[in-house]
Structure 1
Amino acid sequence: MSEATPGVPAENMRVSDAERAQVQDRLRRAHDLGQLDLTEFDERVRTVWAARTRGDLAGITADLPVPPPDPARPGVFSPTPGGMAMRVLTLVWLSTVVVNLTVWGIVALTVDESVYPWWLWAAGPPGAVLAVLYATGIGRNPPLTLRRWCAR
């Protein structure tokens, strides 16, 4: 939010659509947390978009508690030693594939005949092994179950 202009109190400053959208997001989060029912959420959102000043917007969320911070989104790999190993193996595999594909591309562009795609041998078998390891759960974060999702 920008600073108030001289002579105009901050609560009498006009609001933008971006500020209205921020308040609507705050109301949506309050509804998701169970602090507002759907009818009250709808009424307040209508009031948000009818608001003209910052004072009007402040009154809409004044009775709501400060929302908890968003939970951190878990990464693909777990923070365990198995997850670290999978992260390193994946980076090594990806680097190898990129280098081989780049070299193959340069050779294919500079030679007048077709070039055997040897980079597939660098990408395919190790990539299949990594996919099997990941599919079996090695180094992977546990799947998000309904119980864990509700606990967030």
Structure 2
Amino acid sequence: MDAVNEPVHPEQVRISDAERHAVAERLRTAHDDGFIDLSEFDERIAEVWRMRTRGELGRVTRDLPPPQRRRNDGLVFADSAGGVAMKVLAVIWLCLTAVAVSGWGIVALTAGVEYPWFLWVSAPPGAVLLTLWLTGIGRPRRGNR
């Protein structure tokens, strides 16, 4: 059998930039979690971009623990300063809305006024928070560790 038709061992398969990015993200997580220091992180990242095969790529993460699921997976707000700010603002907005709806309910029951004035209190800040969140402020990144 000639060399052209021989199967390539999985560790000899060339890697893509997407695979390099995934390993770089794993190294970034290891640095963030304190498993490697900044100097070692820099060395390993430089090494990742010099590597060509999957076998080589596996060497830079071999001594790291398996990736853990992060706390913000599936949650609405990220574990960042923006996520904390949005969470605080959302809680304040919910409290404001609860007070306004309660006040409206009391007035509606006692005076018979049914005009939903609480929407003037609740809707504008709610629209601002929703717009910020939809533009990505405080929201977890997709595929975030």
4+ long deviations beyond 2 Å: 72-78, 129-132
Deviation at 1:68, TM superposition (A): 1.6
CA distance in 1 between counterparts of 2:31 and 2:52 reads 23
Equivalent in the alignment of 1:57? 57
> Which one-letter code corresponds to 2:42 in the other structure?
D
> Which residue among 113, 121, 126 is the counterpart of 1:128?
121
What is the percent sequence identity of the aligned residues? 39
In structure 2, the residue matched to 1:142 is none
Give 5+ residue unaligned stretches, structure 1: 90-120, 133-152
Kindly state the Cα deviation for residue 21 of structure 1 after the two structures are TM-superposed.
0.3
Partner of 1:9: 9
User: Residue in 2 aligned with 1:26?
Assistant: 26
| Alignment CA distance shift 1:19-1:125 (3 Å) | same
Q: How many residues align?
A: 91
CA-to-partner distance for each residue in 1:53-99, whole Å, 9 max, x for gaps? 00000011000001220113355668xxx89x96xx8xxxxxxxxxx
3-state DSSP class of the match of 2:23? Answer: helix
Structure 1's 127 and 28: CA in aligned 2 closer, same or farther, altered over 3 A?
farther
Q: Tell me: CA distance 1:127–1:58, structure 2 relative to 1, closer, same or farther (3 Å).
A: farther
Most deviating of 40-49 and 63-72: 63-72
For residues 61 and 129 of structure 1, the distance between their equivalents in structure 2, rounded to whole angstroms, comes to 49
The two structures have a TM-score, normalised by structure 2, of 0.51
1:23 counterpart SS class: helix
Structure with the greater relative contact order (CA < 8 A, sep ≥ 6): 1 or 2? 2
Secondary structure in structure 2 of the residue aligned to 1:22: helix
Aligned pairs for 1:28-107 (under 5 A) are 28-72=28-72, 73-74=75-76
The runs of 5 or more residues in structure 2 that have no matched partner are: 78-86, 102-114, 126-145
Task: Tell which structure's C-alpha radius of gyration is larger.
Answer: 1
Q: Take 1:48 and 1:9, find their aligned partners in 2: how far apart are those partners?
A: 20
The SS at the match of 2:30 is: helix
Letter in 2 for 1:128: V
Do the aligned partners of residues 6 and 29 (structure 1) sit closer, same or farther apart at CA in structure 2, a change above 3 Å counting?
A: farther
Aligned equivalents of 2:53 and 2:120: distance in 1? 57
Cα RMSD over matched residues?
3.5
